[in-house]
Structure 1
Amino acid sequence: KGINTTEYQSLRSIPGIGPVLASGILAEIGSISVFDSHNALAKYAGLTWRVNQSGNHTSDNTNMTKTGNKYLRYYLIEAANSIKNNSPEYKEYYNKKFGEVTTHQHKRALALTSRKLVRLIFGLLTKNQIYSSDKVGETQ
């Protein structure tokens, strides 16, 4: 089965996503209809975090679960890195997350930017929309 051209055009419309990233993401997702929410898609990609707590204390330093599709996670993180260099909205979000902590700043900010990207991709693919910078398809 070939790649759906409408979905491909949706991903290519995001500034910073080229043909390789768009094809890779679509190949690893398969059919977006399999996922009932952006959270399910993020979990499939392994972009979720373990809760690290004991009693009433919850650690600020939590690890990404990294279970799930490592190829999709790779494509999403690479895409987020590219998008932050091409989209003012994503650059601002990345910089905000980068400044929130003192350790693993780049990795954490990139992972959170990837998670934001998952929300965008899920919205665009489920609604068959083209990206525009006025946040069409973006759910917070």
Structure 2
Amino acid sequence: MATMQVEVVSTEQLIYSGEAEFLVAPAAEGEIGVYPRHVPLLTRIKPGVLRLTVPGSKDEVLVAVSGGMMEVQPTLVTVLADTAIRGEDLDEARANEAKRVAEETIRKSGDDMDTAKAQAALAVAIAQLKTLDYLRKRVR
């Protein structure tokens, strides 16, 4: 089967670099599936689950992304995520607490900067919780 190179980078680190047979991303207008030799495109991604089908593995590689951009070329997909965390590194209790704190900060904040930071933190927490929910459903 044909493959494409996939690079997933957050503002802090390289999250994934390798080959994939298929990728599903939470694009701004809805989920998008990408196979090798896809037509070029540039799209915003929203908080959610990035799923990669990797050659030689029956399990998908999951990455929680909080937003960013994705560039698709026929043999290369680059995801520039605001924040990204691999599925195996997620902690549900921490994500729920982060979501609670962000929502509380948004409700109480009168400062635009604090509100923007809390909204970014909320997007990260939501992406993590969506990924954990996907993992739970997949295990069943």
- Higher-RCO chain (CA-CA 8 Å, sequence separation at least 6): 1
Tell me if both proteins adopt one fold, taking TM over 0.5 as the criterion. Answer: no
Could you say which TM-score interval applies, normalised by the shorter chain?
0.3 to 0.5
Structure having the higher strand fraction is 2
Q: More helix per residue: 1 or 2? A: 1
Normalized against structure 1, the TM-score is what? Answer: 0.32
